[in-house]
């Protein structure tokens, strides 16, 4: 997110690991609320994808938000189909660790999810939008939060905002990891700077 560390180089498509043609086995239901992990999701639900560092802690941030129907961790924005965690960790798949968030827009706004994203942030990140409205809201929130960070002496935000790529579900043991392992590792650490989204600016 911030210019605090050198960015890992993205492998070229022909340099990426081969991967596999079939999805990895994963959980059928959300460990916390019992909802089906891969759907079908309730009518009217919308999806969002966020990458903000280690996905264990990131997922917990989102499943705690009222109005979120289900969360799942996985991999996105790379080249290797259906990668394993170990493959992603080599840096040779091009993927980010991400969280798929399925939410009821009548109960929680996309702006609230963006606020959660920015304030829970880890330096390596991305917002992967599923609609033009999400892109507009994401870009606006980035500009607002950049202004607040600038007041506190932080560098420029380098978070990527891209159209949502294919999402690959991570292995079973990664899903809702911190609910299964309450004392497990969580590397998230925000800046302590509040994101002003939701205080007068909203997206349809």
Q: Which residues are designated catalytic?
A: 54
Please choose, from the candidates 134, 124, 109, 111, the residue with its C-alpha nearest in 3D space to the C-alpha of residue 51.
Answer: 124
Question: From residue 13, how far is each of 35, 51, 143, 166 by CA, in Å?
Answer: 35, 21, 31, 15
Supply the angle between the helices 110-119 and 132-151 in degrees, to the nearest 10.
Answer: 40
Distance, first Cα to last Cα, the chain: 26
Q: In this structure, are residues 112 and 76 in contact, taking their beta carbons and an 8 Å threshold?
A: no
Q: How many residues does the chain have?
A: 204
């Amino acid at each position: 997110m911030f210019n605090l560390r050198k960015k890992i180089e993205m492998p070229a498509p022909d340099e990426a690991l081969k991967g596999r043609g079939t999805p990895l086995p994963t959980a059928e239901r959300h460990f916390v609320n019992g909802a089906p992990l891969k759907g079908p999701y309730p009518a009217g639900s919308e999806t969002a994808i966020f990458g903000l560092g280690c996905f264990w802690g990131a997922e917990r941030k989102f499943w705690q938000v009222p109005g979120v129907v289900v969360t799942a961790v996985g991999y996105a924005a790379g080249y290797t189909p259906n990668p394993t965690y170990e493959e992603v960790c080599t840096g040779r798949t091009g993927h980010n660790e991400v969280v798929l968030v399925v939410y009821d827009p009548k109960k929680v706004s996309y702006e609230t999810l963006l606020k959660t994203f920015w304030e829970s942030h880890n330096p390596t990140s991305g917002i992967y939008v599923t609609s033009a409205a999400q892109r507009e809201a994401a870009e606006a929130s980035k500009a607002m939060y950049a202004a607040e960070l600038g007041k506190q002496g932080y560098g420029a935000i380098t978070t990527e905002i891209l159209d949502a790529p294919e999402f690959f579900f991570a292995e079973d043991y990664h899903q809702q990891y911190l609910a299964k392992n309450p004392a497990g590792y969580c590397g998230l650490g925000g800046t302590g700077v509040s994101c002003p989204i939701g205080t007068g600016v909203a997206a349809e």
